[in-house]
A and B are shown apart, each in its own frame.
Chain A
């Protein structure tokens, strides 16, 4: 039987050393047993490597940065939709999620589906609210403080022990061993990501993550825990292995149930020597290591598309333990005319 072909737009094609989830999401969708896909890449910059991967993206369009406002984003999406008849959009950047969540109804009205957290779910898990979040849902979180002025840094020694973490509101985290280092990281992060900057207690332990998908009704459609094996100086997992860990799965299911989480998510946790789990961050989207979950038996992007389309995918009940991923770099060869085409016409 011929499979239905869905037209799916995907962002996050920056498959760099700080990779976006776009390419692994596309790779997962292309492996769907239930449907075929035409992939429309949505790119912010001309040199996002995913644009130049012909077996991944069928067509790429440039879209405006979130900072240019929702209307200009929607106008562009409407144009792309008029050309491509999009069924689903999967946004993969934290910084763009707010715009897409807010545009959900307008997108739906023109026939484009999304499957994203609600604005309340998105807002309450912000790094700046982590303390309250932990308290509300009964999860251990590191002590955090939001700062907006450089002179706040001097008071940190009263409540924090060094080293501590300095984090940007969307991305970036640095370990600081002294006040001087905090100042330097504060300047760098605030210049790049704006205010506020988050100061967080450094929890010692093993870095573990869970990728999960909630159906918006309190049910966990799938969840796979992973232990990071190799971590870059940007804090990104460059290698990882799926692990058997009932505590992490229980924590995830419990959180999804209590929050009625809708969409993909990544829980970043630290397991301490005392077997306690501290929630460091919730990323409200599919993470870049999603393909490990697919290899372990849970095609979560495929399930997300089904949920977006109103189909009811059955929950994944298990996954393979001991599946490992390791990232690598690879030189793609393109032509300067491709770069030019995207640059001039905004599509390729």
Chain B
């Protein structure tokens, strides 16, 4: 519920870009926390929000402190905003779109949505992050594989196909290399040591 807010003409509306928003839970939590603090949420989705607030009671520092409590923060600067968009687009592609390829061709999705070549995106990503874009994609794939293995809905061959691995063997090798255990060991041990998507590295 909103705390009572005056009419639209007395509100300041701002679009903010947010770091470390990775899933639908982040969207829900943020909406709730903003509303609890008297901020009206016009729109919120991965990596951005449009908010309205009374300028005499709220400012961007206070907004940022709400975000930090949830492990997020406001991004300033065009390039950093773009890096965050790269991350949320990779998450959409790997975690939200299950089909191996669909009307949205995987190879085109990142480049198409962000309007830059893969080389440009990759270079920009490396400039602001401690890992490469390729590594970021692999880490996300591994987390998605863990999730799909846990769900028990797909066979490993199907998971390999969905995640663009040419074979189960290739998937298994990469899984082992990143996690230190094989897929079958992971499945048997019920370790379920899934990582939060904002703490992959």
Chain A interface (Cβ < 8 Å from any Cβ of B) = 161-163, 165, 173-175, 177-178, 202, 204-207, 228-231, 233, 235, 271-274
Contacts and interface: CB of A to CB of B under 8 A. Distances in A.
Given A229-B161, A233-B105, A163 B113 contact: yes
B113 A162 contact: yes
A163 B92 contact: no
A229 to B, nearest CB: 7
B103 A231 contact: yes
Contact of B97 (A162, A173, A177, A204): A204
Contacts of B158: 229
B103 A174 contact: yes
A274 B24 contact: yes
A170 B101 CA distance: 23
B104 A163 contact: yes
A162 B85 CA distance: 13
Given A177-B113, A273-B96, A202 B104 contact: yes
Contacts, number: 51
B153 to A, nearest CB: 8
Contacts of B45: 161
B26 to A, nearest CB: 13
B96 A204 contact: yes
Nearest to A177: B112
26 contacts: A161-B45, A162-B113, A163-B104, A163-B112, A165-B103, A173-B103, A174-B103, A175-B104, A175-B112, A177-B113, A205-B98, A206-B98, A207-B99, A228-B99, A228-B102, A229-B99, A229-B100, A229-B161, A230-B101, A233-B103, A233-B105, A235-B102, A271-B98, A273-B24, A273-B95, A273-B96
B102 A178 contact: no
B77 interface: no
Given A231-B100, A231-B101, A233-B103, 4 more contacts: A163-B109, A174-B103, A207-B99, A229-B161
The 7 closest A-B pairs by CB, nearest first: A206-B98, A177-B112, A204-B96, A235-B103, A231-B102, A204-B97, A273-B96
Contact of A177 (B95, B102, B115): B115
A162 B45 CA distance: 13
A174 B100 CA distance: 17
A229 B103 CA distance: 12
Contacts of B95: 273
Chain A interface mostly helix, strand, loop or mixed? loop
A205 B100 CA distance: 11
A229 B160 CA distance: 12
A205 B112 contact: no
A20 to B, nearest CB: 20
B24 A230 contact: no
A233 B92 CA distance: 20
Contacts of A228: 99, 102
Contact of B103 (A161, A175, A230, A271): A175
Nearest to B103: A235
Nearest to A178: B115
Most chain A CB within a 10 A radius of its CB, from B103, B105, B113: B103
Contacts of A202: 104
B130 to A, nearest CB: 27
Nearest to B153: A243
Given A162-B113, A163-B113, A178-B115, A206 B92 contact: no
A301 B116 CA distance: 48
A272 B96 CA distance: 7
Most chain B CB within a 10 A radius of its CB, from A175, A205, A229, A230: A175
A205 B96 contact: yes
Contacts of A165: 103
A205 B96 CA distance: 5
Interface string B98-129: 11111111000100110100000000000000
